[in-house]
Amino acid sequence: MDNDVLNTNSVNSATRSHKGSSRRRVLVATLVGTAFEWYDFFIYALAASLIFAPEFFQPAGPSAGLLLSFATIGLSFLFRPLGAALAGHFGDRLGRKRVMVATLLCMGVATTAIGLLPTYASIGLAAPVLLVLLRILQGLAAGGEWGGAALMAVEHARPTRRGLAGSMPQLGVPLGLLLATGINALMTGVIAPGDAFLEWGWRVPFLFSTVLVAIAFIIRRSVDESPAFVELRSTKSRERMPIAILFRRHWRLVVLAALIFAGNNAAGQMTSGGFLSAYATNPDGDIALAPTLVLIAITIGGATMFVTTLLGGFLSDLVGRKAVYVVGYVLLGLAVFPLFWLTETGEFGPLVLGVVLFSVGLGVAYGPQAAWYAESFPTEVRYSGVAISYALGAIVGGAFASLISTALLQGTGTITSVGVYLVAMIVVSLIAVLVLRDEPGKDLS
């Protein structure tokens, strides 16, 4: 009898150890893969604010060229729902892991191709056309990426740790931003300053993506499939058309989930989407800071968001997702105008302070999102629901945030109009947060 007990305890201990190791691999895979995909996304946004207007939209002139560059950012967001729909369908039918690997490779191919793309001076109109097509491919990949990573992290986690586990793919955003701004700051300030960055230096961050994607691919191939999907597959209860079921039965939930993300995404585009870089470095404006200094400030902001995103996920396991979201959005709303006021001083120190204050609320209101989304949708349509809600929220919030902000600034001549626009988006999201049901610890099987 004693030997049987010892054997049973040994088996249980080994099982717990295997599950713990599997969870850790999943968290690393979701963090690394998402970070590298967002790195790809952010280097495009930074290049759009600094490079693409003169290199790909030269005939349009500086002002219109900048608007066209930011428009290509928004265009990719419009294709996110299609990417989310495809990823959601196959993720709910074939599994989370396969789709997560496919979206990673899609993003990596598109980003590397942009780094090799000839400019308008070399091939004329074909250059911006190819740039737009590759940006669309990035949008398709981004639309499906986050949902798979979020579900893998949350569905593998213990119920009491879902907020913290779900913050891992969320950390991919500030980590990707850190990588993107860091390597761009290195290129503009050390390796290829001045005209060298315009001529060839901007291509290096895009080509470096190949190395990062290869690392992420190896890591993601090693993880186990989501236990919730394995259970679903064993019962043979998968829906043939999960998207149709989603919109017929859960469309109100999709709308609310999209809106709670819209304000965060619109605000995030101020730093990660290139607007702040273009505004603070405009040589014809009153600020005209060096691009390297602005990139360093945004890098510090990314580090701040990394910490506060992790904090937001952790706190949501203690006090609930909704409470943390409310605090995050209030902090973010209060930081909007100080960000612009401090930037207008034209000094590096105040700019860093403004970006850091802004990034605190941004991270707190982003940390609990993966867990709240996963707990809101039933298993058979969960990938579709999570991915499509995220993609729609990105369209409403961030798709054209940089374009709208630039147009408002050019039309009104004052940054106050941009601040009003952002605060309005945050208020809309805060209302949706108060309406959406919060069920932390809900059974996900």
Q: Can you tell me the distance from the alpha carbon of 231 to that of 360, in angstroms, rounded to the nearest whole number?
A: 38
Sign of CA dihedral 260, 299, 312, 91: positive
Instruction: Estimate the crossing angle of helix 369-376 against helix 251-271, to 10 degrees.
Output: 170
* CATH architecture of the domain with range 23-435: Up-down Bundle (1.20)
The DSSP output letter for 345 is T
pLDDT tens digits for range 240-282: 677 788 888 888 999 999 999 999 999 998 887 678 888 888 7
Alpha-carbon distance of 146 to 97, in angstroms, equals 12
pLDDT tens by residue, 82-139: 887 787 777 667 666 777 778 888 888 999 999 999 999 999 999 999 999 999 998 8
In three-state secondary structure terms, 155 is helix
**pLDDT attached to residue 3:** 52
How many beta carbons lie within 10 A of that of residue 194, not counting itself? 9
pLDDT at position 5 over 50: no
pTM of the model: 0.80
Per-residue tokens: 153: 């992290």
Q: Where are the domains of the chain?
A: 23-435
Q: Is the dihedral of CA 420, 421, 423, 424 positive or negative?
A: positive
Mean pLDDT to the nearest integer, 143-163? 82
In whole numbers, what is the pLDDT of the chain averaged over residues?
A: 84
Please report which confidence band the pLDDT of residue 13 belongs to, taking 50, 70 and 90 as the band edges: very low
pLDDT band at 192 (very low <50, low <70, confident <90, very high): confident
Backbone angles phi, psi at 367, to 5 degrees: -55, -45
DSSP letter assigned to residue 274: S
Per DSSP, the residues of 109-140 read: HHHHHHHT---HHHHTTHHHHHHHHHHHHHHH
Instruction: Compare 363 and 237 and report the one with higher pLDDT.
Output: 363
Predicted local confidence at residue 35, as pLDDT: 85
The predicted pLDDT at position 239 comes to 55
**Higher local confidence (pLDDT), 232 or 253:** 253
pLDDT in tens, 286-335: 787 888 888 889 889 989 999 999 999 999 999 999 999 999 999 999 99
Residue that wins the pLDDT comparison between 47 and 353: 353
Q: Which amino acid is at 6?
A: L
Q: What is the C-alpha separation between 263 and 388, in angstroms, rounded?
A: 17
Name the pLDDT band for 4 (thresholds 50, 70, 90).
low
Predicted local distance difference test score (pLDDT) of residue 169:
86
Task: Among 144-153, 175-184, 201-210, 415-424, name the one with the lowest average pLDDT.
Answer: 144-153
Is the four-CA dihedral 170, 387, 434, 377 of positive or negative sign? negative
Query: CB 383: neighbour CB atoms within 10 A?
Result: 32
> Residue 57 is which amino acid?
F
Q: Which two tokens stand for residue 340?
A: 């612009």
Angle, CA of 175, 180 and 182, to the nearest 5°: 90
Q: What is the largest CA-CA distance in the chain?
A: 85
At 88 the pLDDT is 72
Residue 65: predicted pLDDT: 86
- Decide which of 416 and 215 is more confident: 416
Lookup: tokens for 386: 């999570």
Look at residues 146, 152, 160 and name the one whose alpha carbon lies nearest to residue 230. Answer: 152
pLDDT classification of 2: cutoffs 50, 70, 90: low
- Alpha helix (H) residue ranges in 285-415: 291-319, 321-343, 348-364, 369-376, 382-397, 401-412
